[in-house]
Amino acid sequence: MADAYPEDPSLERTFRGHKNAVTSLVFNPNMKQLISGSNDNCLMVWNFKPQLRAYRFTGHKAPVCSVDYSTTAGLIASGSKDRTVRLWLPTVEGKSTVVKAHSGTVRSVKFSHNGRLLLTGSDDKTLKVWSLPGQRFRMTLMGHMNWVRSAEFSRDDRHIVSCSDDKTVKVWDVTAQKCVTTFDDHLGMINCVKFHPDGTCVASCGADNTIKLWDLRSKALMQHYAAHSASVNTIDFHPSGHFLLSSSNDTTLKVWDLREGQLFYTLHGHEGAATAACFSPEGEYFASGGADEQVMVWKTNFDRFLDGYVLGLASRDGQGEPDDAVGMGGVPHFPEMDEAEVDADEEEEEEAAAAAAAAAYGGAQMPAPAPVSRPAAMRAAPVPAPAPAPAPAPASAPPPAVSASLGDALASTLQTIVMQLENLSTSVGSMERRLAEVERRTQAP
């Protein structure tokens, strides 16, 4: 097993070069570069090797709202308030192609995992999908009633999740080109939404200072965090799925332990709002950007005590399936499965259990392992995790006589209900006739 106790996150590098707030961050998967977008209308490509200078990409005529990188396509995408999307070659020259994508600010750009599609979200209330290469328009997804703030593809690229100022999170079927699920539990505009690495739940954060996680199969709220004292700007899952990183206008970054359902770390570094944050592809590092124009790179460290984490990633990326429990204490793995493979009775039981859990404490909660000790300087004040709802006792098959008795009782009850409805119908008919007679007499000369 790895170290019994995690180490604290440590600040490794600080990059300065932007002339306004940092709005978006993404790692190059080769871990040689970090890309940032800013309200200074520029993109910066930061090289981790000290001898290499940063690249500044100019071309947008307004603030850059979102950036993303695709290894498959070998491109950087950026969306801007100038209503365009630009696709950049990550070289010194910084050549770009302009896509006139929307009639409003482009607040979100995201490549599909296979690199063949580009997803954009805009203030014109729409999502659009484009084919790569060639930037050919594929589809428009309409349904949000206000600005679209964030959107991304699921790991298998078959679904899209999006969030908006209309206070909703929507899940879309890419093939059917329609919305299949809507969550509306937030009390304010929603700033960011993410798929869990397993693809079975989504997380969102917003101006109501909260973070919420929903199960996509039961359509139920799993976890709710009163996360920050100000608007939560971005969230990102650790690749293991065990941790969630958040940034907020309250100047802090926070790391949440999703297995224990509580705050893990609070990090102070930015002088002003923490406007962006993301994990590296392997989870060893995370980056943050702020209104102070700085980009910071942190060493994660706390993920070292995840026993079996590397094995779990290898299984998920390969042909095999990861174990049901990975890491200290274990977190249930939600296997991907088609709806046709789910038995109707089991689905109803799951929905009932999720509803009971939500009623009990506002979101499902997994059993928590023993708390991990941390140095007092970095120890997070824990958010009390509510006790899990009791598991329903396994149902045993009733004997034939009992089944027959239940069937007879059910039939008798239904017959009684039908008779009562018939009597009610007769009474209503009689009342209508009396009312008609009264009206006739009233209107007679």
When comparing pLDDT for 279 and 134, which is higher?
279
- Which one-letter DSSP state was computed for residue 103? S
What is the rounded CA–CA span in Å between residue 142 and residue 136? 19
What is the residue whose two structure tokens read 């940034």? 247
Inform me whether the pLDDT recorded for 363 exceeds 80. Answer: no
Output the average pLDDT for the chain.
78
Inform me whether the pLDDT recorded for 356 exceeds 70. Answer: no
Q: Identify whether the C-beta of residue 266 lies closer than 8 Å to the C-beta of residue 254.
A: yes
- Residue 408 pLDDT: 63
What is the rounded CA–CA span in Å between residue 393 and residue 192? 38
Per-residue pLDDT reduced to its tens digit, 163-205: 999 999 999 999 999 999 999 989 999 999 999 999 999 999 9
Q: How many residues does the chain have?
A: 445
- Which one-letter DSSP state was computed for residue 379? B
Pick the closest to residue 208 from 160, 243, 163 (CA basis).
Answer: 163
Inform me whether the pLDDT recorded for 135 exceeds 80. Answer: yes
Q: Measure the N-to-C terminal CA separation of the chain; round to a whole number of Å.
A: 98
- Residue 73 pLDDT: 82
Q: Nearest 5°: phi and psi at 196?
A: -65, 150
- Work out the average pLDDT over 279-288: 95
What is the rounded CA–CA span in Å between residue 119 and residue 177? 13
Per-residue pLDDT reduced to its tens digit, 395-422: 444 444 444 555 666 666 676 676 667 6
What is the residue whose two structure tokens read 């871990």? 31
Pick the closest to residue 26 from 352, 278, 245 (CA basis).
Answer: 278
Strand partners, 244: 237, 256
What is the rounded CA–CA span in Å between residue 208 and residue 187? 6
Inform me whether the pLDDT recorded for 391 exceeds 60. Answer: no
- Residue 206 pLDDT: 95
Inform me whether the pLDDT recorded for 328 exceeds 60. Answer: no
Q: What is the homologous superfamily of the domain 10-305 according to CATH?
A: YVTN repeat-like/Quinoprotein amine dehydrogenase (2.130.10.10)
Inform me whether the pLDDT recorded for 215 exceeds 90. Answer: yes
Q: Is 156 strand, coil or helix?
A: coil
Per-residue pLDDT reduced to its tens digit, 294-324: 999 999 998 776 654 443 443 334 333 333 3
Q: Which two tokens stand for residue 104?
A: 């409003």
Percentage of the chain exceeding pLDDT 90: 58
- Residue 438 pLDDT: 66
- Work out the average pLDDT over 45-70: 93
- Which of the four pLDDT bands, split at 50, 70 and 90, describes residue 5? low
CA angle 265, 270, 271 (to 5 degrees): 135
- Work out the average pLDDT over 268-272: 94
Q: Identify whether the C-beta of residue 221 lies closer than 8 Å to the C-beta of residue 213.
A: yes
CA dihedral (291, 297, 298, 299) in degrees, to 10, reads: 170
- Which of the four pLDDT bands, split at 50, 70 and 90, describes residue 293? very high
When comparing pLDDT for 391 and 72, which is higher?
72
Pick the closest to residue 189 from 160, 171, 169 (CA basis).
Answer: 169
